[in-house]
């Protein structure tokens, strides 16, 4: 698909664009291109531009309840066989 320079998908979004348009029509590909171009500023350019915020704090109110401590659940024998590859029939 030919794109003008002002609506080209940025290089850091190129692989996302290719995956998103792999089995799409040209009309859908153009819409995805426009979407990625218009909102390119909200995508991470690399792993170093993600950050933290102090604007929002999160708290889970548990009142005065005591934390629940439960022992681990047993794994069903069938799942255990699939996980380890062992079987009594071998």
- Report if residue 35 sits inside a domain: yes
3-state SS, residue 36: helix
Per-residue pLDDT tens over the stretch 19-31: 999 999 999 999 9
Cβ 12 vs Cβ 46: under 8 Å: yes
The domain tally of the chain equals 1
- With cut-offs at 50, 70 and 90, classify the pLDDT of residue 3: low
Question: Can you tell me the distance from the alpha carbon of 2 to that of 23, in angstroms, rounded to the nearest whole number?
Answer: 17
- Report if residue 21 sits inside a domain: yes
Q: What is the pLDDT of residue 26?
A: 95
Residue numbers of the domain that contains 30: 5-42
Q: What is the pLDDT of residue 46?
A: 85
Q: What is the pTM of this model?
A: 0.51
Tokens at residue 66, please?
């005591």
Cβ 13 vs Cβ 36: under 8 Å: yes
Per-residue pLDDT tens over the stretch 53-79: 888 888 888 888 888 888 888 888 888
Picking from 63, 66, 72, 12, the residue whose alpha carbon sits closest to that of residue 36 is: 12
- Output 25 or 52, whichever has higher pLDDT: 25
The single residue listed with the structure tokens 């794994």 is 75
- With cut-offs at 50, 70 and 90, classify the pLDDT of residue 8: confident
- Report if residue 72 sits inside a domain: no
- Report if residue 13 sits inside a domain: yes
């Amino acid at each position: 698909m030919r794109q003008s320079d002002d609506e080209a998908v940025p290089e850091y979004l190129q692989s996302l664009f290719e995956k998103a348009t792999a089995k799409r029509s040209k009309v859908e590909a153009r819409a995805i291109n426009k979407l990625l171009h218009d909102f390119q500023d909200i995508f991470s350019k690399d792993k170093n531009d993600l950050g933290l915020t102090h604007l929002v704090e999160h708290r889970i109110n548990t009142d005065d309840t005591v934390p629940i401590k439960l022992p681990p659940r047993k794994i069903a024998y069938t799942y255990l066989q699939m996980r380890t590859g062992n079987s009594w029939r071998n």
